[in-house]
Structure 1
Amino acid sequence: MKEKDWFTEWFNTKYYHILYKDRNNADAQLFMKNITEFLALPKTAHILDLPCGKGRHSVFLNSLEYKVTGGDLAVNSIKIAKKFENTTLKFTVHDMREPFNHKYDAIFNLFTSFGYFEDDKEDLLILQNIKNGLQKDGFFVFDFLNAALVKDNLVAKETKVVDDITFYITREIINGFIIKNITFFADDKQHSYTERVKYLDEAKMKSYFEKVGFTIINTFGDYKLSDFNEKISNRLILVAK
């Protein structure tokens, strides 16, 4: 397995979903409500949630009466998400590096689902695909970690017990990447996975957006849509057209 494609394997394991099963749905739903209201997205809008994981954002957006398509590289996640499908909610296996064959009114890239690649060209290709996949007046909503805050508050070592599995987690920042190593013993064997997300602060991210010709119209620092502050904001949320 090529090192850069760590996510293909890790996101497809059941352990990924066990470790992160307590992710805060209330936060996710608050954000979806706030951002769709803020953008005044009409109920006729077709939203692409990319990558969508098991579809928690997609399902909630659909409950707000939007037509939603969720795309994700992880086959197992899409298999789970497909159970929620209906006439206005569809899920498909899709690699962000591949162009779309449809144009959307809004594309959401949520919960730090970007910056996986060694080469900037691949990150820029994803943004270009997203731009090409938007209708003329469409919105791109990008939700990422606040790299500066992560750096200042890096928890180097952590142990989490979920479903009787003890996950040993270490974090470090090396060569422009925030690295999270996860080791654990389960199903009679030792497992080891690494999450790598590029250290993308506000300036770097904005330069990416400019390179592909996006115009940033808002910058928020949390799911309540407060102003972004590098020192204290939990998230870096960019809205672009």
Structure 2
Amino acid sequence: MKNPWYIDYFGDDYYRFDHHEDTDLEVAGLEQLLGDPDQKTILDLGCGYGRHSMPLTALGYHVIGYDLSAALLKHARDQNHRVPRVRGDMQALPFHPSFDAVLSLFTTIGYFEDEAENFQVFRAISEVLRPGGRFICQLVNRDYLIRQFTPQEIHHQDELIILEERTFNPIDNRVHTQTTVMEGSTRRQYESVIRLYTVTELDLLLAAVDLSISEIYGGLDLRPFNWDTNQLVIVAEKMDYDKD
């Protein structure tokens, strides 16, 4: 039986070609959204190799990384042993409702073919947030992607050449990407299939699990959201029914 796409995709090659020049800017935006780090416990869901969790820990937040990829978690541990990390499925988070914030960054939502499984991720996030806790979610802006759709891109990262070939299904709102990694005479291929969401969909899905959207941005630099921003950042708060 074939593995789900994310099992093979998030491995050693991903660590080598996933390059970001805006991490410092994103961490600065997260710091504004999270507030004073004193006594705050943060869950970095889909933490990967620790691109955000390590600098947030350095700022004083107590961050726990959570990811399914053993390869990426190993790279994270090799870089920094201070951040506690847990390996597991994002549909079933093994924590009590004690987090001040849950982060889902760089589109770590919408990985499952079954919509019920995608919805279960939102439910699991809500269940580990304390009342008043924040869910910060960074996604691709679906409307921007449709208007500026690029079916093919080629990137160079060190000795790697990365070819990405994309299609978009407007009926199920999924981007299918075939990634070919070329290194010398060798080629390795990976597939990804990611469900995209509109703001309206997210508002309804999050409300169903007691999360209320309080802020919307066009990126973690906190620019205003519109259809010309390539990102969608949602900040939602866990409803506190005991609050007067």
Contact 2:217 2:232 in 1 (8 A): yes
Residue 26 of structure 1 corresponds to which residue in structure 2? Answer: 24
One of 54, 58, 63 as aligned partner of 1:59: 54
- Range with greater deviation from structure 2 (51-60 or 152-161): 152-161
For the residue of structure 2 that corresponds to 1:68, the secondary structure is strand
The alpha-carbon deviation at position 232 of structure 1 amounts to: 1.4
TM-score by length of 2: 0.88
Contact 1:46 1:66 in 2 (8 A): yes
For the residue of structure 2 that corresponds to 1:112, the secondary structure is coil
C-alpha root-mean-square deviation of aligned residues, in Å? 1.8
Listed as ranges, the matches of 1:134-213 within 5 Å are 134-174=129-169, 175-186=172-183, 189-213=186-210
TM-score by length of 1: 0.89
> Equivalent pairs: percent with the same residue?
25
The alpha-carbon deviation at position 23 of structure 1 amounts to: 4.8
Residue 95 of structure 1 corresponds to which residue in structure 2? Answer: 89
Inter-partner Cα distance in structure 1 for 2:94 and 2:21: 29
The alpha-carbon deviation at position 100 of structure 1 amounts to: 2.3
Contact 1:34 1:225 in 2 (8 A): no
The CA deviation string for residues 109-160 of structure 1, in whole angstroms up to 9 with x for no partner, is 1111111111111111111111010112211111111111011111111222
For the residue of structure 1 that corresponds to 2:208, the secondary structure is helix
- Letter of the 1:186 counterpart: E
- Letter of the 1:148 counterpart: D
The CA deviation string for residues 76-125 of structure 1, in whole angstroms up to 9 with x for no partner, is 11112123122xx3111121011322321111111111111111111111
Contact 2:49 2:75 in 1 (8 A): yes
The alpha-carbon deviation at position 207 of structure 1 amounts to: 1.9
